[in-house]
Amino acid sequence: MNSAREGEMSYANNSSFQRAIASVTKKARQEMVAELYRSKGRPASMTIADFGCATGPNALVMVMDAVEAVLATEENDDDDEQQQQYNINKKKTKNNKSVELHVFLNDLPGNDFNAVFQLLPTSTLAGTGCCFVSAWPGSFYGRIFPEASLDYVVSSSSLHFLSRPPPMININEISISRGRIYISAACSSSSLSPDDDVVLDAYAAQFHTDFSTFLRCRSPEIRSYLPPSLPGGRPSSDDLHHAIQTEGSFSIRTMHLFETTRRRRQQDNNKEQEQRLAIETAKTVRAVVEPMMRNHFGWAAMDALFSRYRLLLQAYYSANETRNKDDVTNVFLVLEKKQQHNMA
């Protein structure tokens, strides 16, 4: 495309249509990246990449939309009235530091990245104080980024460009679309010549090859999200039975289920009981899992994490369908080692 500094014919002055396309998808894109940010547990850093950013005023639109959505989500979560205590604790531990956003801009090496970077000082990216922007030139029909380095990838008005003309097309030998330089609506299926069919098939095959290549190259670059692996679980009695039988060393003498609760039906009113159960449950869970969780999230996050957990528990114990529902199902299990028979 023309440089952003080539006047009337520049891409910068002739890309309003691409901007209109981006505006139509803005709401959906922002909702998606906000949900991604939440699902990853509001990470301390996040990487956003735009494949085919181009140049001119649109070059930062896609990444700015993503950045704004993440920061708005962070701010809205912080301002939730039901999490006031959580916010107080978080501010003590987080030192008001916002999430770090690594913004990667990709396009072909000939793209006018200098013009893009000249937009940064007046963009909302600069005003955040938490965005780190870099350029990664290269064809997106090959690998661009290190393995597992990207969280959110966007590409707009770019993937219709092929990596090359279809190799079987020789425009000197084929009459392409009879007077047109592209396959247009005027070429109805009834009026297509054999040459037109060759052109259509060739371009369709090239797109399939290129798009498959794009996906194959992005797959290793994008991080897979897995929740932190904590050594805990709640197997059912069927799970236990199956595991014991499969291992084969023990037989089950006794297995029965029983429930425990910390409800005091007569001593507390509902409100008092909801608050007490929330506090006790949060403390109980924290005492058990904190050593494991702090290895993943750090000591500084623990107070804020369990303050928020307590608020969620209180809401759970207050809800009509789960009011003061504190029952925990336990398994009482007696095993007997099987006799080993010597064949000697």
Which range in 35-49, 138-152, 263-277 is most confidently predicted, on average pLDDT? 138-152
Which range in 8-12, 139-143, 258-262, 324-328 is most confidently predicted, on average pLDDT? 139-143
Are residues 111 and 58 in contact, defined by beta-carbon separation less than 8 angstroms? Answer: no
Higher pLDDT residue, 246 or 236? 246
Residue 236 makes CB contacts below 8 A (sequence gap 6+) with none
Rg (CA), the chain: 30
Domains along the sequence of the chain with CATH: 7-161 (3.40.50.150), 237-337 (no CATH)
Residue 116: what pLDDT?
A: 93
Instruction: Kindly state the average pLDDT of the residues 296-315.
Output: 84
Residue 15: what pLDDT?
A: 78
pLDDT-based confidence at residue 337 (cuts at 50, 70, 90): low
- Strand ranges, E, within 12-73: 45-51
Residue 232: what pLDDT?
A: 53
Q: How far is 123 from 64, CA to CA, in rounded Å?
A: 8
Q: How far is 319 from 112, CA to CA, in rounded Å?
A: 57
> How high is the mean pLDDT of the chain?
77
Output the six-digit token pair for 31.
């909702």
Q: How far is 162 from 146, CA to CA, in rounded Å?
A: 23
- Torsion sign (Cα): 172, 178, 179, 182: negative
Q: How far is 120 from 82, CA to CA, in rounded Å?
A: 37
What angle, 0 to 180 degrees and rounded to 10, lies between the N-to-C axes of helices 270-297 and 302-318?
150
Residue 208 makes CB contacts below 8 A (sequence gap 6+) with none
Residue 62: what pLDDT?
A: 93
Q: How far is 85 from 88, CA to CA, in rounded Å?
A: 5
Residue 121: what pLDDT?
A: 92
Residue 198 makes CB contacts below 8 A (sequence gap 6+) with 168, 169, 174
- Residue whose entry in the numeric block shows the structure tokens 């702090």: 294
Higher pLDDT residue, 14 or 122? 122
